[in-house]
Structure 1
């Protein structure tokens, strides 16, 4: 069976069988497509025509020459790739191991036109459902696909194989781009890619990336379900078996909301995925993937077989009173789980956002009393201005008014108990040994009384705001506003300290936290910021 350039072949194969393919010399001489212009990590603005790739302009004028050169012995790079789409299942109960992988054999010799396990060509196992072969060749190339017999497994394999003189039709690479968990709740999770570009903020490349339609897709699968083992590196395998998919058979589903975000350090563009329909207290694997650098794919498109990238493990929460919110209008850098109640979950993001905005108005009235628009010599600082103060206050305000929520059962030492006298969502009470702390107000309530009054989340644990947000506020704003922070010796129960190695130990304006100082022992000190905030609210009315 002949393979044409970027036109995949797809067949079923029974265990014990072998099938043969050929890439003829005429295909090797064919016209190449122009290299794609929007490689991951490129600093150039992404561009894409309706097919994702363009014909190589000006190539026709020298095509005859290249054909003659190829026919006279000049080599050309040929890419052969294969994805396993379906694999046999075991007829033995409790057998969680995958079947033997398919085997790929490739020969460039006319003396070995049916390469296989009994020939001279070397076997290449299709590990995780993916294998690739690339070499400079001058003539016809012969391929064998072999399915090893395995008695415990029954039924068929199905695979997709393709040849290309442009670039691999299928690919797998777990080093190009990270997939990171932002946060999760009991039935959803928020994930992002790493930076797609580090072009200057406000520049054209940055703006083009930030406004780009989603270029990536993702899949999620419960770690306890072994059905996907042996197919995790195959795009068509993930498309077939993954329990949750952003795109299934080139059609977007309602299980994953895809978009772009600039939330995070540096405000660089990232792909963003909000996954729903997850099970409580469950561990998942999330797979990042792409189709020809877009959500399109298929035969005739360079790279149309799909590209599987990085995977990440994540776990959902158990208590049901934390909910992920993101894409807020005012607190646009908030993206994590917050105290919640299933009865008002649909209004949660708007409620938190509007509550923070209300507080901000009081600050804004106070800042209007400062001479911001004046000469540099008359400003309150030569290093900071009122815009810096507004930014620092907004970051601090959103962090302290929108708590980051964790399960009450979490053993993370950086968390603080809240609302322990209340009932859980399921009506149960916290363990009896926690009742000794009922007299402590900070343990028996949320940091914001409106959370207990309007949302009523019950017991939960809070990841405290980062202390450096308070320091940035003091450094950026006029002294006349009289901001102050707790001592370094103990930020009390109001603030946490960033982890030494970048681990998330406090809640900041971004969800990827840089390295900082170690956690200091807690004390009972309270910051005057809440007093000042209360005064602003009083005056604002």
Structure 2
């Protein structure tokens, strides 16, 4: 993301630059005394300030010509800023704060000598390059001025932050959300970041040192950040409903890579919320990035409970059919223990396969017994622990009281309300056929009418259409509609489906 912005900055600034705003209408230029009182900016240390309408504020940055990013003949200075708050009568398309910058101190008397950028969506970015010939005296200074527009309310103020660095961007924004909803129940939600690492080194991670934070806003503030949605400090300082201190956060490798997960509790049923993920580069006082927000909605009744971080079915993280007499911990343990007990017989059967045989006698040159065991485990967890929803979505199966996926759920969990089951994805069945020895005679249903009895094929939508259990980072979806005109070829793998 950072190199993307570097290239974008450089392309924009080399091609074109906005013309300086006309300083007419009685706006006075700063005096020499005002210029000399400009506030000094330090490397990668943003400064926060409040500016009134029609006011101009002045800053300076001493260039270090012995370090920083540059090539041969120039040094690069990264300028970024955020608007943290602004007058309520400023619309998204209105002229916002303007930033002027130059290595010529005379720009404080004549802004036409400076380059200019406007804040857009609460964010400002620029790249200044310093030729080596301008740094021979080792006292090169970048001069910066921030000017506020006129406003009909003479008491109007903007709060903003500005940061300068010779090495990186102090503030950033990303057009990805970089966080996704795992699932919800009536009063909670589970949200995860994207894959944080690809090297599998998870041993020394500590969530207390994570740079990612999640902010939950009520849906009534859907348009609150329409003109500030790229501002890191606006998201952090807005009318947040639940801030990071009220969320339970941890790391997970459930999907095949390291992710940070956030358990959001204390929500209302059948209610929409807006989630913003932000990252802090070196603590909350040293800049950061904001990602695109996303919306999620809780279920409308308490027929399902959200469970995750199971010991055996460690890939499971979704809402399941519940009973009010059971706590979430009891519910999680009962489902997990049931799947683990069912796995034992298969594990014994797999031990009879020549997993460690020579290349000539091994059951597959590209698959191992470990691959088979993992795929079977994922399939078993998906069909043993049904995913529960209160929404009537195409492909979901309605479950009345006493009519659950299997008799064990009827007798032990005893769900007390009707719900809709999100059927397992068809590719969890395909995986065991692909990964396990032919000795097991595993076969998946071949015709649409038989498939839909036990599985579903996923398509993109607001809500999941099927329940996948496994390493989602490595999965290529088989989201296609299968039409095979043949006789039913179905082996009942266990009595659960």
The verdict on a shared fold, with TM-score over 0.5 as the criterion, is: yes
Structure 1 residues 521 and 404: CA distance shift in structure 2, 3 A: farther
SS at match of 1:414: coil
Deviation at 1:136, TM superposition (A): 0.9
Deviations 1:434-476 (A, max 9, x none): xxxxxxxxxx611133434425151111111122322332343
Aligned to 1:146: 147
Runs of 4 or more, structure 1, over 6 Å off, are 500-503, 521-526
Within 2, Cα distance between the matches of 1:340 and 1:416?
16
Within 2, Cα distance between the matches of 1:337 and 1:362?
27
Deviation at 1:240, TM superposition (A): 1.0
Alignment of 1:325-336 (within 5 A): 325-336=307-318
The yes-or-no answer on 1:281 pairing with 2:270 is: yes
Alpha-carbon contact 1:287-1:311 (below 8 Å) kept: yes
Structure 1 residues 184 and 168: CA distance shift in structure 2, 3 A: same
Alpha-carbon contact 2:175-2:291 (below 8 Å) kept: yes
Structure 2: stretches of 5+ with no match in the other structure: 1-37, 135-139
Structure 1 residues 385 and 78: CA distance shift in structure 2, 3 A: closer
Aligned to 2:425: 466
Select between 475-484 and 304-313 the one with higher mean Cα deviation: 475-484
Aligned to 1:11: 49
Aligned to 2:101: 107
Deviations 1:323-372 (A, max 9, x none): 33222221111122222345534223222222211211232233345454
Within 2, Cα distance between the matches of 1:208 and 1:224?
39
SS at match of 1:317: coil
Deviation at 1:4, TM superposition (A): 2.4
Aligned to 2:26: none
SS at match of 1:160: strand
Within 1, Cα distance between the matches of 2:257 and 2:156?
47
SS at match of 1:231: coil
Match 2:385 to one of 386, 391, 402: 402
Match 1:416 to one of 389, 397, 411: 397
Structure 1: stretches of 5+ with no match in the other structure: 36-65, 91-95, 199-204, 248-252, 299-303, 423-443, 535-541
Aligned to 1:530: 494
Deviation at 1:526, TM superposition (A): 7.2
Alignment of 1:499-510 (within 5 A): 499=459, 504-510=464-470
Alpha-carbon contact 1:218-1:287 (below 8 Å) kept: yes
Alpha-carbon contact 1:502-1:514 (below 8 Å) kept: no
Alpha-carbon contact 1:503-1:515 (below 8 Å) kept: no
Aligned to 1:263: 254
Alpha-carbon contact 1:209-1:269 (below 8 Å) kept: no
Aligned to 2:200: 206
Alpha-carbon contact 1:105-1:145 (below 8 Å) kept: yes
Within 2, Cα distance between the matches of 1:497 and 1:173?
31
Match 1:136 to one of 117, 121, 129: 129
Structure 1 residues 148 and 516: CA distance shift in structure 2, 3 A: same
Aligned to 1:495: 455
Within 2, Cα distance between the matches of 1:457 and 1:98?
49
Within 1, Cα distance between the matches of 2:324 and 2:144?
56
Deviation at 1:394, TM superposition (A): 0.1
Within 1, Cα distance between the matches of 2:192 and 2:347?
33
Alpha-carbon contact 1:338-1:404 (below 8 Å) kept: yes
Alpha-carbon contact 2:426-2:457 (below 8 Å) kept: yes
Alpha-carbon contact 1:215-1:290 (below 8 Å) kept: yes
Given the two structures, how large is their TM-score scaled by the length of structure 1?
Answer: 0.70
Alpha-carbon contact 1:501-1:514 (below 8 Å) kept: no
Structure 1 residues 525 and 141: CA distance shift in structure 2, 3 A: same
The yes-or-no answer on 1:161 pairing with 2:196 is: no
SS at match of 1:206: coil
Structure 1 residues 521 and 341: CA distance shift in structure 2, 3 A: farther
The yes-or-no answer on 1:240 pairing with 2:237 is: yes
Aligned to 2:32: none
The yes-or-no answer on 1:20 pairing with 2:57 is: yes
Within 2, Cα distance between the matches of 1:191 and 1:529?
33
Aligned to 2:290: 308
Deviations 1:100-122 (A, max 9, x none): 56412213133321677xx6756
The yes-or-no answer on 1:518 pairing with 2:487 is: no
Alpha-carbon contact 1:84-1:159 (below 8 Å) kept: yes
Within 2, Cα distance between the matches of 1:342 and 1:228?
39
Structure 1 residues 356 and 143: CA distance shift in structure 2, 3 A: same
Alpha-carbon contact 2:387-2:423 (below 8 Å) kept: yes
Alpha-carbon contact 1:210-1:262 (below 8 Å) kept: no
Within 1, Cα distance between the matches of 2:324 and 2:157?
45
Structure 1 residues 146 and 187: CA distance shift in structure 2, 3 A: farther
The yes-or-no answer on 1:125 pairing with 2:160 is: no
